[in-house]
Amino acid sequence: MEFINKNLPYILAGISLGGQYALISIGYTMVYGILRLINFAHGDIFMFAGFAMVYLAASTPLYVSIPLVIIITVILGFLIERIAYKPLRSAPRMSVMISAIGVSYLLQNLAWYFTSGLAKQYPKIPWISGSITIGSATTPIVTIITPILTVLLVIILVMLIKYTKIGMAMRAVSKDFETSQIMGININSVISFTFIIGSFLAAISSILYFTSYSTVTPVAGAMPGLRAFVAAVFGGIGSIPGAVVGGLIIGMCENITKGLGWTTFSDAFTFALLIIILVAKPTGLFGEKTTEKV
């Protein structure tokens, strides 16, 4: 019991961070499932949402700025797909990935240009910035809200994919790109919709994440993005429950390594986990097996 009391703050923070990673990694896993592309720019979309909030909250009340942030982020994700990925649909996978790296570079440099590279204070959001006491531990409210919100959003998303027409189209496209095209599915709208969902979740995650970290910098999206990608691989790329479980595990691991005083190694540990998974079980926890056809 004493162990739990002592470590409760770390465990709670880990779960909450894991929930935030899970929301980002759904964006990765869905895009990879459909386009077979690691969307390197996804972490920067997340960072962009953070900055949008900083600037919007300075001039508008929160009930306006939060929906605006979400809308702007969704538009950004949609535009990135249309401008940077769509023209390369028939190009080799390497070019699309380079394009994604280019977009990430552009977004980071743009953010640097507009903020002069300074860290910006994230606005306080009254409903989630306060603290709450559970047992002997005092934690910010955001650590309680994140897992609840994550579970809620994931349930909605799974329902969407399972029971709606567009969800069925998404499943078809991720199974077989060409055949689904022949069957009359409008691939472009399905892909756009995937990016819209991914960006929507990234925007929500950024609100939760930056509330607990309090500052935004132009490179703030790079590492959370990579960790979320690791989470997606861990859970099995293309699988939404997998992304959630992966996100929780990565978030917990990060906080445990930090709690043990190994901060320098928290990223290294994440990547070590990735490499072990890739070598031992490349399909991840819930991933489907793919076979190579000659």
Partner 1 sequence: MNMERNGLNNKSTFLAVSEFIAKNKIGFLLIIVLYSALFILEKMMPPSSMLFVVLKKGAIYALVAVSMNLLNGFTGLFSLGQAGFMLIGSYTYAIFTIPVEDRAAVYQYFDGGIIRFTVPVFIALIMAGVAAGIFAFFIGLPVLRLKSDYLAIATLGFAEIIRAIFQWNKLGPITNGSNLLKKFPSFSSVLFPFTVAGISIALIVLLINSSYGRAFKAIRDDEIAAEAMGINLAKHKLLSFVISSFFAGVGGALLAMYQTTVQASAFKAAMTYEILLIVVIGGVGSITGSVISSFLFIACSEWWLRFLDSETYIGSFKVPLLASGFRKVVFSVVIMVIVLFYNQGIMGTREFSSEGIARFFSRIASRNRKEGA
Positions that interact with partner 1 (CB under 8 A): 36-38, 83-84, 87-88, 91, 93-95, 97-99, 101-106, 109-110, 112-113, 116-117, 222, 226, 229-230, 233, 264-265, 267-268, 270-272, 274-275, 278-279, 282, 294
Burial class (CB in 10 A: 0-12, 13-18, 19+), 173: buried
Query: Whose Cβ is closer to partner 1: residue 17's or residue 226's?
Result: 226
Query: Whose Cβ is closer to partner 1: residue 52's or residue 207's?
Result: 52
DSSP string, the chain: -HHHHHHHHHHHHHHHHHHHHHHHHHHHHHHHHHH----TTHHHHHHHHHHHHHHHHHHS-HHHHHHHHHHHHHHHHHHHIIIIIGGGTTS-HHHHHHHHHHHHHHHHHHHHHHHTT--EEPPP-HHHHSEEEETTEEEEHHHHHHHHHHHHHHHHHHHHHHHSHHHHHHHHHHH-HHHHHHTT--HHHHHHHHHHHHHHHHHHHHHHHHHHH-EE-TTTTHHHHHHHHHHHHHH-TT-HHHHHHHHHHHHHHHHHHHHTT-GGGHHHHHHHHHHHHHHH-TTTTTPPP-----
Query: Whose Cβ is closer to partner 1: residue 15's or residue 80's?
Result: 80
Query: Whose Cβ is closer to partner 1: residue 200's or residue 229's?
Result: 229
Query: Whose Cβ is closer to partner 1: residue 158's or residue 223's?
Result: 223
- Nearest distance in Å: CB 269, partner 1: 8
Query: Whose Cβ is closer to partner 1: residue 98's or residue 160's?
Result: 98
Which tokens belong to 229? 């990608």
- Nearest distance in Å: CB 103, partner 1: 7
- Nearest distance in Å: CB 71, partner 1: 24
Query: Whose Cβ is closer to partner 1: residue 89's or residue 162's?
Result: 89
Closest CA to 135 of 125, 124, 144, 126: 144
